[in-house]
Amino acid sequence: MVDAAAARTRVQVASTPTAAPLLRVRALVKDYGAVHAVRGIDLDLNRGEVLGFLGPNGSGKSTTIRCILDLLRPTSGRIEVFGMDPRRDGVAIRSRLSYVPGELRLPNRMSCAQVIASIGRLRGGFDPTRRDELAERLKLDLRRPTRQLSTGNRRKLSLLLAFLWPVDLLVLDEPTSGLDPLMQHEFVGLLREARATGATVFLSSHVLSEVQRTADRVVVLRAGRVVAQGTVEELRGRARQRVEVWFEGDVPSYLKDVPGLVDTAVDGHRFTASLTGPIRPLLAFLGSQPVTGMLVEEPDLEEAFLDLYEERA
């Protein structure tokens, strides 16, 4: 059931000599009347990359994704996918990508196998062996009617559909929402396999550990704007570190003036604070002090994102 187009390998596509980003978004704005869902987003997704797309509910993640897929028409701004305009070249673009929607609503009175067959006919065929393999890995009974599927099983079906075809770009909107930890692990495995064969991934997620494990770069949205982007390590570097210092005598009163220290507190000979930014000024100061002990905790990635989400950063 695999036709020539569907059987096109990603290796061939990956060899296309171009350095341009696979996805380019510039000054994207999407308004719903008086509601400003997206307020000028710029982002690039490079070929072969896994980009984590993070943000609290209502930050504009799904709206951006739906604009990329031409499900929504931007109020202004420009989107290029594979160098093409989603509005003009939507069919060509969608033939090279798979999409997992944030919430999958399925036709009534169909089994999972029938849904796959129907979508397969729209895509010009599929490999039944691959379908069965994915169904087994995701523990999805293809005979089950869609109306009997739990949230988790609906999610499994959408993942099966996403990984069934060898596409160049996977657009995944909260792909593990509703999945148990075992299936989340399986998803990460599928993602890594897809990436190993050259697929590029646009991953919107609330699960930080999942993003941390899979993403090369992260873009964080808040209120329709990009508030941070970089590698996971770069974002971790922005996170607050918890610092505790014990002194032989009283805590020097001017310690709190060291750059980067916030939320300072003194409890007898013990000084506690949060450190934002480089640790060098603190170490330089403490080098000349009667310090008896010191503890610096690993930056908490979740804390870093919460800072970004809540405008504390």
Partner 1 sequence: MSGPSAELVLAPLRSIRRATIIWGVALAVLVAATVSVWPAFKSGSGVSQAIDQLPQGVVQAFGLEGFGTPAGFLRGNLYAFFIPLLLVGVAIYFVSSLTAGEEDAGRLELVFAQPVPRRAVFAGRAVAALACLAVLVVVTALVQWGADAHVHLSINGGRLGATLALSALLALFHGGLAVAVAGFRPRTSVVLGIAFVVAITGMVAALLFPLSAALKPFAHLSPWDWAFAGDPLVNATAPWRYLVLALPAVAMALFGIWAFGRRDIRAA
Helix or strand (DSSP H, E) at 282: helix 280-286
Distance CA 43, CA 68 (A): 12
The dihedrals phi and psi of 225, each to the nearest 5 degrees, come to -125, 155
For partner 1, give the closer residue by CB, 95 or 177: 95
For partner 1, give the closer residue by CB, 66 or 156: 66
For partner 1, give the closer residue by CB, 59 or 241: 59
Q: How far is the CB of 297 from partner 1 (least distance, A)?
A: 41
The dihedrals phi and psi of 220, each to the nearest 5 degrees, come to -110, 130
Q: How far is the CB of 1 from partner 1 (least distance, A)?
A: 10
- The separation between CA 176 and the C-alpha centre of its own chain, rounded to angstroms, equals 11
The structure tokens listed for 106 are 């399925």
For partner 1, give the closer residue by CB, 11 or 92: 92
Q: How far is the CB of 63 from partner 1 (least distance, A)?
A: 9
Q: How far is the CB of 94 from partner 1 (least distance, A)?
A: 4
Distance CA 6, CA 309 (A): 40
For partner 1, give the closer residue by CB, 18 or 108: 108
Q: How far is the CB of 86 from partner 1 (least distance, A)?
A: 11
Cβ atoms within 10 Å, residue 278: 11
Q: In what order do the strands lie in the sheet with 241-247?
A: 261-267, 270-275, 241-247, 291-296
Q: How far is the CB of 163 from partner 1 (least distance, A)?
A: 14
The dihedrals phi and psi of 278, each to the nearest 5 degrees, come to -70, 150
183: β partners: none
For partner 1, give the closer residue by CB, 40 or 125: 125
The dihedrals phi and psi of 37, each to the nearest 5 degrees, come to -75, -40
Distance CA 136, CA 195 (A): 21
Residues lying near partner 1 in the complex (CB under 8 A) are found at 62, 66, 69-73, 90-92, 94-95, 99, 101-110, 118-119, 121-125, 158, 161
